[in-house]
Structure 1
Amino acid sequence: MGNKLSGKDLIKMGFPQNNTVNIALGQIHRYRKREKKERILQEAKEVLRSPKDFMGDAIWGKVAEGLIQPVEIRLRQLNSNRAPFCIFGENEIDELAKRQLYDALKLPVSIKGALMPDAHSGYGLPIGGVLATDNAVIPYGVGVDIGCRMSLSIFDIPGSYLKGRTYQLRNLLSEHSKFGMNETHKVKSDHEIFERAAFKDIPLLKSLRDKAYRQLGTSGGGNHFVEFGIVQLQESRADWKLPKGEYLALLSHSGSRGLGANIAKHYTYLATKQCPLPRQVQHLAWLDLNTHDGQEYWLAMNLAGDYAKACHDDIHRRMAKAIGSRPAVIIENHHNFAWEEVVDGKRCIVHRKGATPAGKGVLGIIPGSMTAPGFIVEGKGNPLSLASASHGAGRVLSRGACKSTIKKSDMLKTLENQGVELIGGAVDEAPMAYKNIHTVMALQDELVQVLGTFTPKIVRMDK
């Protein structure tokens, strides 16, 4: 059987005695271990004979790359100096988050960085961290929930529609939104994304396709939500169908579900094996975009981002159908992703981990908390922030601290006093867990222009 194949078999065939043998064994064990040894050896012989013919192959491409351009695996040292950076709202940010940014700025691939005023510590890059790198992508610089995003549907229905319809809208949220690991829609939606070549060509994605199909249109746990509220448009734009005023709106926050989490886990592991770093920065291991794995992660990351959008689209389609109205305006943005952008005249990979794209004229949503407004914003394209802004108010209490210091009854009382209904939810998402959103917004007025606000009224979260 294929799982009995050893490195000696490959060396005897003519494979060089370097890391290429380990790469080949890893690929075979991961994707071909149930196949016959003879068949695998025959394919390996063909790869050895003509590796160029297998470049880009889903399974053998990484082996071919190792045969053509052997890479020495060695500990990467940090630079002694930091890449240039800017911190917005420094007095509102904990020291650990700053130190995490400082470490990231010393990576040999780092070009420039920034920290948003909602920042707090995380794994790899801090939450609220932005980092531009030279032809390298850091899986933990993107985050585990790849493509985590906001989506806002504004309906041409007056905000007063909510009065007297709380029970009806609460039932719609309970019936048409699904959360967590186990809830899925009984009637599944099909989507063109499942016909993407990446779902067929990349073995990892192929194995995740069925799970992604089941979870389409659902939301994760933690701080993910679907909520009805009132939008107050303070400004209007030529491309909007709505003038200034108050409107019924639906806001959702979620990401790429199990698909993104598994992609992050898989490629972070590969990055740490290929790019060993000192212990304190091991989560910042990167993949060179000129390599097989780097290109594969880039494809997988973009697929996960598009899948996250498809989930939001399905949620909003279901809700719009239930209330019998189409959105007049849709605003949406990622805040856990990496983009290829020009920074100070150089083409870079810009990681925004818990940061909102804020290029000039780019729209986005920055939520507050269940009792604080979110903000509809238009980016100013400030180069000091790498055209970025905060992705929310930012946590002031960790989830553990919330559980040990906040009572559920106190949280519910606070929500009641603010006229907010909650379905599900836990104390780690209590309003008091977050910074003051108005302070955060004041600290980034040079990054975004506020066009309007969203005030939550009926909130659905995981149980």
Structure 2
Amino acid sequence: MPIKKILNGNGKDVPVKIYTDTIDHGAINQLKNIAKLPIIHSHIAAMPDVHMGIGATVGSVIPTLNAIIPAAVGVDIGCGMNAVRLSIKASQLPDHLKPLREAIERAVPVGAGAHSQVSARAQACKPLEKGLAQLFERHPTLLKMLRQPHATWVKQMGTLGSGNHFIELCVDESDDVWIMLHSGSRGIGNAIGRYFIQQAKRDMQGHMQHLPDKDLAYFSEGSPHFNDYVVAVNWAQEYARVNRQEMMGLVLRAIAPHLPEFDVSHEAINCHHNYVQQEFHYGEQVFVTRKGAISARQDELGIIPGSMGTRSYIVRGKGSEESFCSCSHGAGRVMSRGKAKQLFSRKDLEEQTRGVECRKDKGVLDEIPGAYKDIDQVMAHQNDLVEVVHTLKQLVCVKG
């Protein structure tokens, strides 16, 4: 389905091209604010899962010239997906799936949890140590934001986190079994994000009156902290990628005793959906921030998860330049976590996750499928951007 709405098409601000006809007023206002910034290149693209965020809109693709907006990247830097296909069929799974869920929960700390021993994760963290030490040396205030910083970031390697992060066992349209997970850069990425968002506000203190939203403060190339932020955000994105890789290994080892012998026959992708990187678009080298969006270059594979009771998709990009070669990162929320807890009950959660082995208590009520957009409608709105390769239905879901 082509672009549904264009904002600012005839005004002085850059256009906003929106790939859905269902968007809340808060998100529209945020997109209009971003479009006022002098650093935006060509236009802004809003994906079908677009909804209001903090400062910048979730589900937006923001190309900037010689500048980056730290709050657009956000605090869960490098948050994204990883999925692998196993060499077994759904018919080979055990009749009772609870032991599989419990095995995963024992192997992978969730929520604010971390591994108990530094040594257990030290090998995976070793290639990242030098870069973090240099970052702390240049920004000692960042170091103070973390309690026991070395132990924290090392122990959290290979952990899930909270909120909408998850680990799932799924089956596809051919009854092949997949493992899919969603996580980011954990506490260290959060600290880096919060620190540099505040630093951008301080650096722009004399210009804040010209910003439509103080959370849109940005670093320009040549400014005192631009290069430091680029180094820091790239470090956090790599930490998030390795975190998912480590977690996937833990999950596979945890479920192996409960399944027939299997191989990992295919890795779909290990992709970010909250990140920034340099790309070439519309004649310029720009910084593309995807805040709740994934890269969908021609023939590039990606992962678009639904909610914990619906479907997810492995997709292949079509390389649409108008979307800056991007697509949605998921279903997208239609209500806040607080509203979901008020509106739905535990019984609603049980009904909406029927057939899925998962927690069904009030602790995950804010992640109920009813709090999200219809994933099939989201997919229909972006058939110009991606094609579906596999449709996944979850059988086991571990929530953060």
Do both proteins adopt the same fold according to a TM-score greater than 0.5, normalized to the shorter chain? yes
Match runs of 1:53-132 below 5 Å = 81-89=12-20, 91-111=21-41, 112-132=43-63
2:3 counterpart residue number = none
2:203 counterpart residue number = 274
Match runs of 1:205-220 below 5 Å = 208-220=149-161
Q: TM-score scaled by structure 2?
A: 0.88
CA distance in 1, matches of 2:123, 2:327: 31
1:172 aligns with 2:134: no
**How many angstroms does 1:183 deviate by?**
4.0
1:308 aligns with 2:244: no
**How many angstroms does 1:81 deviate by?**
1.8
1:422 counterpart residue number = 358
**Deviation readout 1:220-264 (Å, 9 max, x if unpaired):** 1111111111133xxxxxxxxxxxx32111111111001111001
**Deviation readout 1:327-355 (Å, 9 max, x if unpaired):** 21112210000010011010000010011
Distance 1:87 1:302, change over 3 A: same
The CA RMSD measured in Å over matched residues stands at 1.8
1:134 counterpart residue number = 65
Structure 2 residue matching 1:339: 3-state secondary structure: strand
1:435 aligns with 2:373: yes
Contact 1:154 1:231 (8 Å CA) reproduced: no
Letter in 2 for 1:420: V
**How many angstroms does 1:193 deviate by?**
4.0
Letter in 2 for 1:395: R
Letter in 1 for 2:366: D
1:225 counterpart residue number = 166
Contact 2:335 2:371 (8 Å CA) reproduced: yes
CA distance in 2, matches of 1:144, 1:107: 21
Contact 2:114 2:155 (8 Å CA) reproduced: no
1:254 counterpart residue number = 183
Contact 1:370 1:459 (8 Å CA) reproduced: yes
Letter in 2 for 1:200: A
- Unmatched segments (≥5 aa) in structure 2: 1-10, 257-261
| 2:229 aligned to which of 297, 301, 304 | 297
Contact 2:113 2:161 (8 Å CA) reproduced: no
Contact 1:408 1:426 (8 Å CA) reproduced: no
**Deviation readout 1:331-384 (Å, 9 max, x if unpaired):** 221000001001101000001001111111211100011121101011111111
2:113 counterpart residue number = 182
Q: Give the number of the structure whose alpha-carbon radius of gyration is greater.
A: 1
Question: Number of matched residues?
Answer: 368
1:264 aligns with 2:193: yes
Contact 1:104 1:125 (8 Å CA) reproduced: yes
**Deviation readout 1:260-310 (Å, 9 max, x if unpaired):** 110011111110111243464110111123334111111111111111111
Letter in 2 for 1:446: D
Contact 1:178 1:184 (8 Å CA) reproduced: yes
| 2:132 aligned to which of 199, 214, 219 | 199
**Deviation readout 1:405-440 (Å, 9 max, x if unpaired):** 111232123322xx0111375111001001110000
Letter in 2 for 1:201: Q
CA distance in 2, matches of 1:115, 1:191: 39
CA distance in 2, matches of 1:135, 1:226: 37
Structure 1 residue matching 2:358: 3-state secondary structure: strand
Identity rate, percent:
34
Distance 1:166 1:192, change over 3 A: closer
2:266 counterpart residue number = 329
CA distance in 2, matches of 1:158, 1:317: 20
Contact 2:80 2:273 (8 Å CA) reproduced: yes
CA distance in 2, matches of 1:292, 1:151: 35
Contact 1:363 1:378 (8 Å CA) reproduced: yes
- Unmatched segments (≥5 aa) in structure 1: 1-79, 233-244
Match runs of 1:392-431 below 5 Å = 392-416=330-354, 419-423=355-359, 425-431=363-369
Match runs of 1:145-156 below 5 Å = 145-156=76-87
CA distance in 2, matches of 1:363, 1:88: 20
Match runs of 1:367-406 below 5 Å = 367-406=305-344
